[in-house]
Amino acid sequence: MASDLMNSALEQLDQAVQSVKVAAEQAPDAVAMAAHGVSGGAIDPFVFRLAIFVLSIFVGYYVVWSVTPALHTPLMAVTNAISSVIVVGALLAVGISASGYATGFGFVALVLVSVNIFGGFLVTSRMLAMYKKKDR
Amino acid sequence: MSQNLAAFLYLVSGVLFIMALRGLSHPTTSRQGNVYGMVGMAIAIGTTLLLATPSFGGLVLIVVALAIGGGAGAYIARTIPMTAMPQLVAGFHSLVGLAAVMVAAAALYDPVSFGIGMIGEIHGQALIEMALGAAIGAITFTGSIIAYLKLDGRMSGKPILLPYRHWINIGLLVAIVLFMVGLTLSESHFDFWLIVVLALALGVLLIVPIGGADMPVVVSMLNSYSGWAAAGIGFTLGNLALIITGALVGSSGAILSYIMCKGMNRSFVSVILGGFGGEAAAAGADDGVQLSVKQGSAEDAAFLMQNAQKVIIVPGYGMAVAQAQHALRELADTLKEYGVEVKYAIHPVAGRMPGHMNVLLAEANVPYDEVFELEDINGEFAQADVAYVIGANDVTNPAARDDKSSPIYGMPILDVDKARTCLFVKRSLGSGYAGIDNTLFYKDGTMMLLGDAKKMTDDIVKAMKH
């Protein structure tokens, strides 16, 4: 009974996530085109970024509430690992920067986040590998 | 690679990160989710390298940095003991915070590479976003270091209360905002570094007054901050993957903080203002009457448990400190040989970070379908013969339910006092982290087992095997 309910709830959530995904993939283009038509391209790209930001907060809200409390520690470890996607900024600074300062800062940032990327994902997978079901 | 294709790939990596979090809704899908996360990260890195096409020298530097950091990270991830997970997570947060500051600084010194204007002519909006990212990053950096030191026991868990600390913090915040305005108007590097220095100080001052028992909230909150810092940088760079990830991490940390606060029946504001724990000792049942406590030995406990039908184990932070999870699992196995039903009950704020106990039990090979959350198991204590409380204290204190004058009144607790017998393992008869006397100790059905959690559990197992 309870597991049926749970399953159907999970299914619904899955569908919701799917539709959010589809919407998220289409939204920037669709919104951009519509805005382009209305404003003649005068809307600042900042507005689109803000829109994506706000929508992502909502996606995060629903996705994180569905995380089981037993996995809250791996959740923290993995959110930590993915927030190291700030690596894209560090790569730009190291890779193409002409200023010595900027390269230096970027290099430090790159070392720090690569600790996080490798450490975060590996420690998460180490933790997740330990969660086992009862042997019957 | 065209800008549009790159933006699309960043979006794909953002969606993969969403899938990574989505996987964590169940242990069976979680491993798949983690793989999505890794793929998303690889896509983001690959796209950036293809888009930016670094020079040969730049590429060498990148490989060197990845090798140093990646090697260190992989080594730490392989060797860290599971009991040290809260410190590790706090430490990792500090790295993201510092990296956000560094990336913001790099963008300030070389705006052309980041596509935000020329030196001296950076767009005002980019400057604001950059300053916000750097400020939040700096707060995350020092705040996480303090949290790390407290969790690792290198600094006392007691709150450190400076006089006028709220005014100092507000002053720092106002100064940061003023220098942000200054930076936007002048693009002065000096203003930028002032913001960073003030934010570093603010990070220390914000976390120092918060006591050890409130660390689950702090760790979650810093998790949230590291997300907002990343999002700030994402706006500066106009990078979708960063913006999406920042928002995800930010809201994830915020939700966890909320869950932790609810588990303690405290408001977020009261936790952040700090000062809880350590100072309120001797509050409550200090009316001069010497209450009697029933003490028992490992043999008594073994006898009670092996003749029980149902035993519920309640682990807490003390179990982590004593590294007793493996001994506990052995105890449960021995009990099962006697035909006893064994379950585990986890309070939301047990341990020093969300889900801390679940990870430790999983490490000791306890199947996750024997481990239950508070709401799912609380009704079962009334049918249990024995509740075995190991290393938990305040989360079992009946005063939270019955005594309106108690400082923890209203906090949800595990009803261990409703079990026929409550075996309470504890090093001494002192009060818990919140500094409150536990009325459970003096109840008729309670037997205190004084000793180290691991040694006591081992002794009980030995006594049962005799």
Average pLDDT for chain B: 88
**CB B24 to CB A13 under 8 A?**
no
Distance from CA of A121 to the nearest CA of B (A): 7
Residue A83: half-sphere exposure toward Cβ, Cα within 13 Å: 40
Task: Decide if A131 touches B, using CB distance below 8 A.
Answer: yes
Q: Please, are residues B401 and B443 in contact by the beta-carbon 8 Å criterion?
A: no
Distance from CA of A37 to the nearest CA of B (A): 19
**CB B41 to CB A84 under 8 A?**
yes
**CB A96 to CB B54 under 8 A?**
yes
> A55, A79, A136: best mutation site toward chain B, by most B Cβ within 10 Å?
A79
Low-confidence residues in chain A, pLDDT < 70: 1-7, 9-10, 13, 16-17, 19-41, 135-136
Distance from CA of A34 to the nearest CA of B (A): 17
3-state secondary structure of B343: strand
Q: Please, are residues B285 and B439 in contact by the beta-carbon 8 Å criterion?
A: yes
Query: Has B369 been annotated as catalytic?
Result: no
Distance between CA atoms of A118 and A81, rounded to whole angstroms? 8
pLDDT at B187 over 60: yes
Tokens of B175: 């100064």
Q: Please, are residues B362 and A127 in contact by the beta-carbon 8 Å criterion?
A: yes
Chain A residues closer than 8 Å to B103 by CB: 86, 89-90, 93, 105-106, 109
Model confidence pLDDT, tens digit, residues B327-365: 999 999 999 999 999 999 999 888 888 889 999 999 999
Residue type at B129 in one-letter notation: E
**CB A107 to CB B61 under 8 A?**
yes
Q: Which residue of A has its CA nearest to B249?
A: A79
pLDDT at B274: 67
Task: Decide if A103 touches B, using CB distance below 8 A.
Answer: yes
Chain B residues closer than 8 Å to A125 by CB: 31, 34
Geometric angle at alpha carbon B330, from B324 and B334, rounded to 5°: 140
Q: What is the mean pLDDT of residues B44-59?
A: 89
**CB B125 to CB A10 under 8 A?**
no
**CB A105 to CB B105 under 8 A?**
yes
Chain B residues closer than 8 Å to A116 by CB: 69, 73, 92, 95-96, 99
Model confidence pLDDT, tens digit, residues B3-14: 889 999 999 999
ipTM value, please give it.
0.88
Task: Choose between B118 and B208: higher pLDDT.
Answer: B208
pLDDT at B162: 80
pLDDT at B101 over 60: yes
pLDDT at B32: 94
Q: Give just the sign of the alpha carbon dihedral B268, B232, B9, A22.
A: positive
Q: What is the mean pLDDT of residues B443-456?
A: 88
Give this prediction's pTM. 0.85
Cα Rg of chain B, angstroms:
25
Distance between CA atoms of A84 and B69, rounded to whole angstroms? 12
pLDDT at B78 over 90: yes
Chain B residues closer than 8 Å to A22 by CB: none
Conformation bin of residue B164: beta by default, left when phi > 0, alpha when psi is -120 to 50? left
pLDDT at B285: 41
Of B106, B236, B348, the CB nearest to A105: B106
Of B72, B93, B248, the CB nearest to A60: B248
pLDDT at B282: 37
Options B394, B417, B458, B459, the catalytic residue: B394
The pLDDT-based confidence of B214 (bands split at 50, 70, 90) is confident
Helix pair angle (B325-337, B453-465), 10° resolution = 20
Q: What is the mean pLDDT of residues B228-235?
A: 92
The pLDDT-based confidence of B111 (bands split at 50, 70, 90) is confident
Chain B residues closer than 8 Å to A97 by CB: 58, 106, 110, 113
Distance from CA of B190 to the nearest CA of A (A): 14
Chain A residues closer than 8 Å to B370 by CB: 134
Q: Which residue of A has its CA nearest to B248?
A: A60
Model confidence pLDDT, tens digit, residues B251-308: 999 999 999 888 888 888 877 776 664 444 333 444 444 567 888 888 999 999 989 9
Cβ contacts below 8 Å, chain A against chain B, sum to 402
pLDDT at B280: 40
Task: Decide if A29 touches B, using CB distance below 8 A.
Answer: no
Of B14, B96, B110, the CB nearest to A99: B110
Of A71, A72, A78, the CB nearest to B27: A71
Residue type at B319 in one-letter notation: M
- Phi, psi at residue B295, to the nearest 5°? -105, 150
